[in-house]
Chain A
Amino acid sequence: MSSQAELDKLIHGDYEAGFISAIESDTLPPGLNEDVVRFISEKKGEPEWLLEWRLAAYRRWLSMPVPQWAHLEHPPVDFNEISYYSAPKSMSDGPKSLDEVDPELLRIYEKLGIPLHEQEMLAGVAVDAVFDSVSVGTTFKAKLLEAGVIFCPISEAVHTYPELIKKYLGTVVPQGDNYYAALNSAVFSDGSFVYIPKGVRCPMELSTYFRINEAKTGQFERTLIVADEGSYVSYLEGCTAPMRDENQMHAAVVELVALPGAEIKYSTVQNWYPGDAEGKGGIYNFVTKRGVCHDDAKISWTQVETGSAITWKYPSVILRGDNAIGEFYSVALTRNLQQADTGTKMIHLGKNTKSTIISKGISAGRSSNVYRGLVRMSPRAENARNFTQCDSLLLGDQCAAHTFPYIESRNPSAMIEHEATTSKVSDDQMFLCRSRGIDPEKAVSIIVNGFCKEVFKELPMEFAVEAGKLLEVSLEGAVG
């Protein structure tokens, strides 16, 4: 999957993305109250309605208990120890092009192997790079605009496309949906906004690289993608974060709206710092991702999760319209003391709706890996179908894998299939590989990659390669 040189580079050095950049920040002191919410809104020059929207979310959040149902253990998060606004200082004027972007910033991206310039030339991928809370370096805008596609920071869209934001923000994930979504709604920093007009096939894959950089700064991304009737878009999200000693909190919200006949493909490769071997310093990731599918629309989530100390994430699809299709393909790898509680919800409301869930959990070290999924067939969901396959792979004997499938069917014509397996990398497989000259680490990586193949093939090409590499690095030291 990767050349030997790349491989060596990946294997040597602990966590390649683990460095702290020295960019000055305009950071709010830690703490959360209404003034903080007002400050954020004012900083962004938001209209009154959005400030009220944020405040309503904040008040709602205050009354909500921290969810305890997940199979996760961590000390309670002190939300007053987090700073809710941080923007690189040099960005406050707003760069007009990449040339105006802080060279230090560009250097960091290069270190992460995602040079914007190179991507512009080679990949034909438009990148809306989020560095801390302010979006910089939006590329290929012209080409996208030509197709009528809107791809910009959500903070910008609030000003330039207020009607669209007002119409769709919070319609898929309401302010009070859950504890973390409410928090996000109150203090969201920035994120991407995408709109694909009727009948348009987005001419390129849209991609955003998220980074968490400022110490103790929570990241509260808010992404909204609206695919109008009969349109198509593929969106790629990839994440890395620098090494840290304190837990970093992340509570993003992603909303997808697929109008009749539209298709949205959302792919994520997530590699946030998982903490050291003792679990110290990893990212806490509490994400709400949900899409709504109207008639004949399709939403496909593909995720490769290898990072974070805590992952709490259930990309879901509400199959509202008839003949809508929802898909969830997931690889979640945990090692050391990582904990992942992840899965999906497929809510079938329309007739002839179909959903597919393929989940691959890999646990190593002393980690815990949970699949939690809900398939709900509403009374109106005539002939709805779901197929779920959950496979767990264990490496070593100190890790854990759990599967919690929730199935609710209120329509007798609905069909639900669920398959689950748990396996270990067998000694026979290892011996076969090794007797063919393959060292144990590479052997595990090959076997695990094979285990994930069904999911990887859903990823766009460059992501598939990256995902393979990620697994290889993540599995380092997982053998024996």
Chain B
Amino acid sequence: MRDNLNLIPLSRFIFHSTHIAYYRGVCLRPACDPSKFVSEAVKSIPSSGIRRFFDLVSGLEDVVSLGVGEPDFITPWHIREMCIHSLEKGQTSYTSNYGLPELREELTRTYYRRYGLDYNPASEILITTGVSEALDIAIRAVVNPGDEVIVVQPSYVAYVPSVILAGGKPIIVSTHRDDDFSLTAEALKPAITSKTKAIVLNFPNNPTGAIMQEEGMEDIADLVVENDLFVISDEVYECLTYEGTHIPFSSLEGMKDRTVMLNGFSKAYAMTGLRLGFAMGAPDIIHSMMMIHQYCMLCAPITAQVGAIEALRNGKGEMERMVREYDRRRHFIIKGFNGIGLECCNPKGAFYAFPYIGDMGLSSSDFAERLLNEKKVVTIPGDVFGEAGEGFLRCAYAASLDDIKKAIERMGDFVDNLKQ
């Protein structure tokens, strides 16, 4: 109807007021620019360079991607089959806000078995729609406007925006190649002020693959107590630890009530699209998170929750098989990168290699963009994960061995060309 109005002479309109016109009794309200309604908080979120990559990649053929942040495995069949069965049975209702009791009980058993951690399924566990949601509500549950939250970088891209959206002030602490990107208490100390409320940790780390060493963790725990801080620990890559063993921050003496552990099924059980995560912490914290969760999410999708129960009960074998496969690719890609002259720390967890390209005369994003355009290899520039990531590339080895081989070969050519 509106399209046709262009053809109608203006004189045919009867103006009722300066803003609203009527034509034959039909109200015609003026167009507006909706961008003016966008909140200042959203506008203040730093935009990520990654969006550009989506556009650059689309349309290119014969692309080899090391740019993914998810397993290249399909969710193990027994888990999918259980999801399908639950749908066939008609299990499509809401669940408790906290999540299915069986799932929470299974998590309690799992974490007791793995680490001797004892979380009460009734009050200390919340099932969320992915770790992304858990992160958002954990930060909103503890941050007051003006609170400072320490974010350790390079790290997953969501922490800083989540802090900003909650009205907090992100304070960046960097980890470095010389320390294998692990965090030290000395690095944390200068960033702590009287306004510091919490620290966001992410180990095993996306994008560096770094894990935390036990000695370093104890020092950090001391610092947390001395400064009366809270810890938000994103441990979604927990099960993907290849050297040493994963130590949940909450398992350190005195840390259980000061820490909310965020975790999920995406990486360990290749369930990214099912969107299922969980948070474990003190009842006050979990309850506060649930207060937000009940209004913004109500509950996590029931199909995914059913799949997660199956994953915890019977998924260990398949998960370990996938972990061994990643481990082999890890060895392969590190050797490959070192072989073509890209120096690379040994990543002990997650599924990312983080080679250094800072001595090639290009910024991370220029390097990644040229690599994509000239050699059709997708990598993620390290600065996407914070300034400390400048000079590095994130290369996911959650790709087939054939793709990894192809990528290394093409990157070798690219590096040779650069050096000439």
Does B associate with A? no
Interface residues of A (CB under 8 A from B): none
Interface residues of B (CB under 8 A from A): none
